[in-house]
Amino acid sequence: MNLRLLILKLRNSQSWSTCKFLVVIGYVIFMVLTVAYLFKKTSSVSENDLENPGNFDTLKDLGDVPAEVLEFEAKVRPGLGEHGKGVSLPKEQTEEDIKENMKLHSFNKYVSDVISLKRELPDTRHHTCRQINYDNPQSLPTTSVILIFSNEALSAVLRTVWSLILRTPKEMLNEIILVDDGSTHEEITKTLPLYIKYRLNGAGPKVKLRVLEKQSGLIGARLAGAEWSTSDIIVFLDAHCEATIGWLEPLAQKIKDNPKTIVIPSIDGIDDRSIAFHGSVGGVGISVGAFTWSGHFTWDHYRNAPKDRQASDSAPTPTMAGGLFAANRKFFWDIGGYDPGMIGWGGENLEMSFRVWMCGGRMETIPCSHVGHIFRATHPYAIPDDSHGKNTVRMAEVWMDDYKKYFYLSRVEMKGKDVGDLSERKALRERLQCKSFEWYLDNIIPHKYKMDEDSELWGRLKSVKYANTQPMCVDHLQRDEAHKLKPYILGQYQCHTFVGNSQYFTFSKDGAFRNEYMCARISPSSDKEVQMISCDGHLKDSAIKWEWIPADPKSDKRKGMLKNTSTNKCLMPDGSNSSANVLLADCDVNDQRLLWTFDYDEKSKDSILKL
């Protein structure tokens, strides 16, 4: 008799009711036993589990999940933000609501909270990266990832954590160290420890939480995390990142091959309003880090790259932005870690960049490693008063040698400031037998414009006509945004009593009238005005070529006319009007309005810049 006939006979008999009754009884017994088992397991959780939420070897069933965790998770709406797509909720968020989110968190927390913590992201690696055979994960160095935060949005922190867990070989990711730098928001102080215990328990690597009761700033918090680390490699990431597939292997391989290399992943953007992931596969061209003489990081293109360079090849970088990088843990400490005398945030990335190159290490950008990052326009936490200025003074005094003169051009007010004891860092430089800053400029970033060595004339450009009434100087009138390279019209202002950034100009040896980044040309909209544009890429253009015509070549070379060679027009002040734009007129050596004086020339051995 086949099974179908048997079932039909049972259904037509009294036995069918008996079967249904037995099934119900069996189900009830099963549920009772399950609840008893869960209760027993829940009662076995020790206080030590909560104090050390990362120290789990296997997944434990902790029973009822606390309401704080469930309420946090209930905000997520399945499907939103998947594959890196942005989210907009115009019916729920007004523009004012978004601005308030930006003000409090520096990105749109409301949207971040509704996106899955484990969302899928596109693979943004170049196809040549996917063809590289790295060493087996078991033979690559183990890694500790350090995330620091202060009152960060919890969804951003945990999305970072889950992206690491889900997209890193388990053999390599030894631990994730979370450093809470003095947070006061309950999402971080209360919900985060519970989430770690109930959701990250046994999810893969150890997830450790270290709480600093008082905010110490980026440098202090990262040092605290590094001190806690136990792996071969330490990776510093911001707590609003998302790692993509294959992000760690190329970093670890480069460090394994050369433990004295600091490596930086390619940084893909995450929109601060919609949390959209904007990844780019890149190409043969690649951006690397540079710096301004005022002590800020900036991007530059990779110059003098090999002609046969592949899109997957790493690129040496003179500096790093500092938010995301990896290092051999022993080398990190051998090279001096972070300067513990620095405070808050700012300048530490350039200081480490100079130090690593000058003291026997190197830095490379790794295009096959992609990590998404929310670029925030502001900081949602307090930063000590001008910590960037004080930190960069420490950097300049220890590492920049005589070239610190350029730093003080932009930060005149910092000259002579007390920034703490520098003896330990100077002793570190001596002990490591580090090279000079001149070596760094000549070998690591040789194209960096040196504003006296690369010039025939430099300093303030002062009008001769108005020297005895109201001394007038060429001035950028705060229109210059330096490395942002935005064009602007050149102006004039009453001469300062010191040589400072806004009035510091040069006549370069290659015939440009310029400052650090911007070169002068005739304005396209008016042939009577001077426009400043990016020097980079335009140095061969005839429009930015100028000629210095000394008033008396046999006497003082610093006094003369500045003529644009493409128009044969000369620079002229707009009377004695402060905050006016400088003008152009027909050249005439007998017209005093066209005569100017630079502070210094090549004979000025006692230049004020020799600080």
Please determine, for residue 577, whether its predicted confidence score (pLDDT) is greater than 60: yes
Q: Provide the pairing of β-strand 491-494 with 488-489.
A: unpaired
Between 473 and 483, residue with greater pLDDT: 473
Q: Which residues contact 436 (CB under 8 A, 6 or more apart)?
A: 358, 401
Q: Where are the alpha helices (DSSP H) in 123-231?
A: 154-166, 186, 192-199, 217-228
Span 573-600, average pLDDT: 92
Does the pLDDT value for residue 384 go beyond 90?
no
Across the range 227-237, mean pLDDT stands at 97
Per-residue pLDDT at 256 exceeds 60? yes
Is residue 518 within 8 A of residue 480, CB to CB? The reply is yes
CB 83 within 8 A of CB 122: yes
- Give the per-residue pLDDT at 537: 78
Contact 353, 320 (CB under 8 A): yes
Residues making up the chain, counted from first to last: 611
What confidence score (pLDDT) does residue 4 get?
41
Q: Which of 157, 230, 161 is nearest to 188 (CA)?
A: 157
Backbone angles phi, psi at 399, to 5 degrees: -115, -20
**Digit-coded pLDDT (tens) for 401-423:** 999 999 998 888 899 999 999 99
- pLDDT beyond 60 at 472: yes
For residue 283 the two structure tokens come to 């190409």
Residue type, position 30, single letter? F
The 10s digit of each residue's pLDDT in 439-449 is 999 999 999 99
Q: Using a pLDDT cut of 90, give the percent of the chain over it.
A: 72
7 vs 13: CA distance, rounded Å: 10
Bridging pattern class, strands 491-494 and 472-475: antiparallel
Q: What is the pLDDT of residue 158?
A: 98
The mean pLDDT of the chain is 87
pLDDT at position 19 is 44
Q: What is the pLDDT of residue 377?
A: 67
Q: So what's the pLDDT on residue 541?
A: 83
pLDDT in tens, 297-345: 999 999 989 999 999 999 999 999 999 999 999 999 999 999 999 998 8
Q: Is the pLDDT of residue 608 over 60?
A: no
How does residue 376 score in pLDDT terms, banded at 50, 70 and 90? confident
* Residue 137 to residue 253: CA distance in whole angstroms: 10
pLDDT at residue 32, rounded to an integer:
38
pLDDT of res. 5: 40
pLDDT at 11 over 70: no
Dihedral angle of Cα 425, 427, 430, 435, to the nearest 10 degrees:
10
Highest mean pLDDT, choosing among 273-287, 428-442, 470-484: 428-442
* Pairwise CA distance, residues 368 & 125, whole Å: 6
Q: What is the pLDDT of residues 40-79, one digit of tens each?
A: 333 223 323 333 333 333 334 456 899 999 999 999 999 9
Beta strands in 47-201 (DSSP E): 143-149, 173-181
Q: pLDDT category, 602, cuts 50, 70, 90?
A: confident
pLDDT band, very low/low/confident/very high, at 578 (cuts 50, 70, 90): confident
- Per-residue pLDDT band for 207 (boundaries 50, 70, 90) equals very high
What is d(CA 144, CA 153) in angstroms, rounded to the nearest whole number?
A: 22
pTM: 0.85
In this structure, how many other beta carbons lie within 10 angstroms of the beta carbon of residue 175?
18
pLDDT bucket at 383, cuts 50 / 70 / 90 = low
Whether pLDDT at 31 is above 50: no
Q: What is the pLDDT of residue 139?
A: 97
Can you tell me the distance from the alpha carbon of 522 to that of 532, in angstroms, rounded to the nearest whole number? 9
pLDDT at 16 over 50: no
pLDDT at 382 over 70: no
* Model confidence band, residue 609 (pLDDT cutoffs 50, 70, 90): very low
**Contact (Cβ atoms closer than 8 angstroms) between residue 400 and residue 437:** yes
Contact assessment for residue 237 and residue 372, using Cβ atoms and an 8 Å cutoff: no
Residue that wins the pLDDT comparison between 13 and 248: 248
Helix 15-43 to helix 3-11 angle (10° resolution) is 100
